[in-house]
Amino acid sequence: MKRTRTSKAWMHEHVSDPFVQRAKAEGYRSRASFKLMEIDDRDHLIRSGDVVVDLGAAPGGWSQVAAQRMKGKGRVVALDLLEMAGLPGVTVIQGDFREESVLTALENLLQGERVGLVLSDMAPNISGVPLSDQARIMHLAELGLEFSQRWLKPDGAFLVKVFQGYGYEDFVGEMRRTFASVATRKPDASRGRSAEVYLLGKGLKQSA
């Protein structure tokens, strides 16, 4: 298949992206690693000894950062529909988080241990129909929030990627009903033209 001008432009932008180049030079699996680093440097989310659950983990950039910063104390559980190569200190589950059997496998792996940090960088396959795609994106975010409500420690945190658009304000409202504090983060490694933002909820409210 002949490449379109759009795909050629994207590839040029990708290979010349300074965060892509840094990831290759420093041994990180993706440019997304720098998003989590910047947010964690500011908000101190990754705590040694905690359990970290990484939803939508492949290719593993966030799990890699979390495992490194925990320095062997605690554990990281990574889940993705796509196959993901193993990482030191990371347990990988391959499956669709929307399926009850996959959620059960994840919960069984936790063995009742509460989670210090839930990361969600999940995104569906894009259909090209904006309203449909946005609804599917927000549905994944809602599933991540539901999991956090059940499994986070009282002082735990939930960091989730969302896109501003249909359903966004309703989701922010649900975050505020769940967490004592909710903040928006747009790290430098997030492309400026992208509508993606990261919502950070910290501290479960007692009624959550």
Cα distance between the two ends of the chain? 50
d(CA 95, CA 79): 7
What superfamily would CATH give domain 30-204? Vaccinia Virus protein VP39 (3.40.50.150)
* Residue in this structure with the two tokens 């649900």, named with its chain if needed: 174
Q: How far is CA 110 from CA 54, 61, 78, 86, 185, in A?
A: 13, 21, 12, 18, 28
Q: What's the pLDDT tens digit per position in 49-108? A: 999 999 999 999 999 999 999 998 999 999 999 999 999 999 999 999 999 999 999 999
10 annotated among ligand-binding-site residues = no
40 annotated among ligand-binding-site residues = no
Is residue 123 within 8 A of residue 195, CB to CB? The reply is no
d(CA 123, CA 198): 13
Domains of the chain, by residue range, sit at 30-204
In the predicted structure, residue 43 carries a pLDDT above the cut 60: yes
Residue 11 — very low, low, confident or very high, per pLDDT cuts 50/70/90?
A: very low
Residue 40 C-beta-side C-alpha neighbours within 13 Å:
22
pTM tops 0.85, yes or no: yes
Please report the pLDDT score of residue 19 as a whole number: 58
In the predicted structure, residue 9 carries a pLDDT above the cut 70: no
Reduce the DSSP state of residue 164 to 3 states and report it: coil
SS3 content of the chain, % helix, strand, coil (to 5): 40, 25, 35
96 annotated among ligand-binding-site residues = yes
d(CA 194, CA 171): 19
Which residues are catalytically annotated?
Answer: 161
* Residue in this structure with the two tokens 């796509």, named with its chain if needed: 82
Please report the pLDDT score of residue 56 as a whole number: 96
Averaged pLDDT score across all residues of the chain: 88
Calculate what percentage of the chain has a pLDDT beyond 70: 87
